[in-house]
Structure 1
Amino acid sequence: MTKRIEGIIPVMITPFKDDGTIDYPGLSRLIEWYIANGCDALFAVCQSSEMLFLSLEERVALAKFVVEAVGGRIPVVASGHVSDKLEDQERELNAVAETGVDGLVLVTNRLDAGQKGGTAFIDDLGSLIEKLPKDLPLGLYECPAPYRRLLSDEELMFCARSDRFGILKDVSCDLETVRRRVALTADTSLAIVNANAGIAHEAMLSGSNGFTGVFTNFHPDLYKWLLTKGPQHSDLAGELAVFLALAAMAEPMGYPKLAKLYHQRLGTFDGIGSRAIDFDIAEKYWAVEALLGHIETGTAQFREKVARA
């Protein structure tokens, strides 16, 4: 049976130099920050990595660098297929697979990219799987860009019964959907891992064994505590869950550049350049620096609280 991929799994951001190329020394420090803060796996080459704005050569180089920098300490999974045509996706995914990643994540909106409906998703998926390495675990990602494409229960169970899939990055943002999916896949290799901070605590209590939302780029250790220690400290867990949900409301303020500004403040890397966000977030979103300061303060306060607990 394919091993489940679960726990706290950051959707990695990609630091860039002033000339627009990938800042690999900064990325190396970011990887160490993720690991030091208790992450269970890393999701490289995803929407947060700005994969829609990276060439295939860059996507492959990014995945390869993360695999080598991690050095087997935790699993590394990656996506990277952005094309509409299946033959192009086959080329993209196999190129990423050759980097040594521990899992290959398929984006649901790229399957049935023409939005034909019916059995098109399962037909496309079945065709694509046959052309990927047989021994490489697969994942599914309901990526919101260019549009969110949620799995039906039938499609979910097709994937679960195939015994090829170890994770669904659930972007339903709906607790009842998460609970239903957890129940449907209970006896399979497919782990349902929620990506929405607003329901993170309740989803964990309902069997979503982990978290893979964008604020794993801010305080993954607090999500790790919520997952592993929260059930034994219900009052503090409830208080922490409220802070995490409110902090994540900052996401629309220019993410992923917002997360890069946060890491610039931490000293992880210097630049906050982004190919996805090409405007000055401090100019567009007034007091964003002050808001990040409050998130830093709240994060530090909760770290002290959970340490005492």
Structure 2
Amino acid sequence: MENSQKGFIPVMLTPFLDNGNIDFTALTQLTEIYLQAGSSGLFANCLSSEMFELTDRERIQAIKHVLKVVDGAVPVVATGTFGGAISRQADFVKEVSDLGVEAVIAITGLLADENDSDEVFDENVFDLLNQTDNIPIGFYECPVPYKRVLKPQQLSNFVDTGRVIYHKDTCLDLAQIKEKLALTQGHKFGLYDAYIVHAVESLEAGSAGLSCIQGNYFPELIVWLCDHYNDSSVAEEVKIVQQFLIDNMDVMHNVYPIVSKYFLQKRGLDISTFTRRAVGNFSPRVMKAVEKLFDDYTSLRSELNIQVYI
């Protein structure tokens, strides 16, 4: 995850059958789509995967399945902390690590209560590190159950241990991103930005790549942006792509991930829009907005001559 090549790390969806069970056939096809698009890694068992609606057994099954499909082609990271005593979280971190992931992701909002101080949080992080041998760890500033954003010096202190190699940042603040990058420079560590609004600026500042929900609509477009953000020959096209992503943020976030699954249906993936998480009403108005997004993307993709798997 710490390689110098700018890359896209998809936050993977979990396809379900209409009866609510995991659709492993669709999960295979979806994983292949991410790979064919040129993703440089995968983030399995994350919020987009509806990880809080999965049982521990299903989490392990899904991660194991993704690893089997990937077969070493790219690194895979996966969440391994789901609350409770640090010792309990450490046990599941070890279980996830044993599957063969590159790093196990710790949810910042589950390592301390919302009202706990940074000192309590830091103590819990170091406790987790001490209880998990030499397992590579990453952080995700997940908005659920609450969003705890790491301060730049905190992140630096954790990276200095040599154990933290990955961070999915959701601070939405480019100045903080730059400070985090400056303080962690020189380490085997990658910061992946989730905020598409400043994607190009974040890449220019030194982020290792992007890890955003937009990749669950058109992963090849996010890969294209990571590949060309600094290419002067397509500078105008980069601006167009960045603006396209900004202009469609509301559409892509509304009743997500139902909308992204519907978008993937439009692309040709045999995936149900079933979700276990209650995210709102997939109304005709929302559906129409997604269909317009699909049409607009199809035109943009054609203009950029981007190849797609489906």
Correspondence for 1:299 among 297, 300, 303: 297
Greater than 6 Å deviation, 4+ residue runs: none
Once the two structures are superposed, the pairs formed by residues 1-309 of structure 1 within 5 Å of their partners are 3-4=2-3, 7-113=7-113, 115-134=115-134, 136-232=135-231, 233-277=234-278, 279-282=280-283, 286-307=284-305
Letter in 1 for 2:194: A
Letter in 2 for 1:261: Y
Distance 1:306 1:204 in 2: 20
TM-score, structure 1 normalization: 0.92
Shift of 1:278: 6.0
Does the CA-based 8 Å contact 2:114-2:148 persist in structure 1?
Answer: no
Distance 2:282 2:55 in 1: 25
Does the CA-based 8 Å contact 1:166-1:190 persist in structure 2?
Answer: yes
Letter in 2 for 1:68: K
Relative to structure 1, the CA distance from residue 206 to residue 10 in structure 2 (aligned partners, 3 Å threshold; closer, same or farther) is same
Letter in 2 for 1:157: S
Distance 1:33 1:118 in 2: 40
Q: How many corresponding residue pairs?
A: 303
Deviations along 1:199-256, one digit per CA (max 9) or x if unpaired, are 1121111211211011111112112111212322211111110001222222331111
Does the CA-based 8 Å contact 1:256-1:277 persist in structure 2?
Answer: no
Distance 2:279 2:200 in 1: 33
Secondary structure of the corresponding residue to residue 48 of structure 1: helix
Letter in 2 for 1:199: H
Does the CA-based 8 Å contact 2:2-2:166 persist in structure 1?
Answer: no
Shift of 1:100: 1.3
Distance 2:152 2:118 in 1: 13
Secondary structure of the corresponding residue to residue 167 of structure 2: strand
Among all aligned residue pairs of Structure 1 and Structure 2, give the percentage whose two residues are the same amino acid. 28
Letter in 2 for 1:127: D
Distance 1:126 1:181 in 2: 19
Letter in 2 for 1:213: C
Out of 201-210 and 53-62, give the one that drifted further.
201-210
Shift of 1:33: 0.8
TM-score, structure 2 normalization: 0.92
Shift of 1:31: 0.5
Shift of 1:8: 0.1
Deviations along 1:117-155, one digit per CA (max 9) or x if unpaired, are 141122111111122241x32211100101100002221
Structure 1 gaps of 5+ residues are none
Does the CA-based 8 Å contact 1:3-1:137 persist in structure 2?
Answer: no
Shift of 1:3: 4.1
Distance 2:3 2:166 in 1: 6
Structure 2 gaps of 5+ residues are none
Out of 30-39 and 252-261, give the one that drifted further.
252-261
Shift of 1:4: 4.8
Out of 84-93 and 209-218, give the one that drifted further.
84-93
Distance 2:183 2:208 in 1: 15
Distance 2:229 2:122 in 1: 38
Letter in 1 for 2:98: E
Distance 2:8 2:223 in 1: 6
Distance 1:263 1:220 in 2: 11
Deviations along 1:242-293, one digit per CA (max 9) or x if unpaired, are 00122222233111111111122223223111111265412xxx42222212
